[in-house]
Amino acid sequence: MNNNFIIVGRLTRNIDFKYTNNNKPVAKANIAVQNGKDDTSFIETTIFGKMAETTSQYCRKGDLIGVSGIIKNHNWEDKNGNKHYDYTFLANKVTFLQTKNEKSKPEIVKESNEDIFADFGNEIEIDDNMLLD
């Protein structure tokens, strides 16, 4: 059994990007996820590697992104004996859904006069007799 998450929401601030002591890219994204009309969750997600660099380069506060990954829990006891519980959301995929940054517009979206349905085969006509069981 896996401990996965999938969220879609807007960045509440610009990505916090830095390098670890081992010179590995890491980014923190705070994402507002709408649960209902008057209910919003704020989820801080950690992103590593090239994905962290790309996300911090192209995404800004207010952009809509989708993130999937795993949830890691951390339990510890402080010096006073109090137990603490925390969760870290670790991204393994980030999808840019709506960004304001001009650099992030995908190049694959191009206007074309080509028939995009050409390889789908022939059109099928349905008559009323086919709809009756």
pLDDT in tens, 74-109: 898 999 999 999 899 999 999 999 877 655 444 333
Enter the tokens of residue 114: 């080509």
Instruction: Give the Cβ contact number of residue 14 at 10 Å.
Output: 14
Rounded CA separation 88/97 (Å)? 23
**pLDDT value of position 4:** 92
The ranges assigned to domains in the chain are 4-101
pLDDT in tens, 41-71: 999 999 999 999 999 999 999 999 999 999 9
**Four-point Cα dihedral 120, 122, 123, 124, nearest 10:** -110
This prediction has a pTM of 0.69
Mean pLDDT score of the chain, rounded to an integer?
Answer: 80
Domain 4-101, CATH class in plain words:
mainly beta
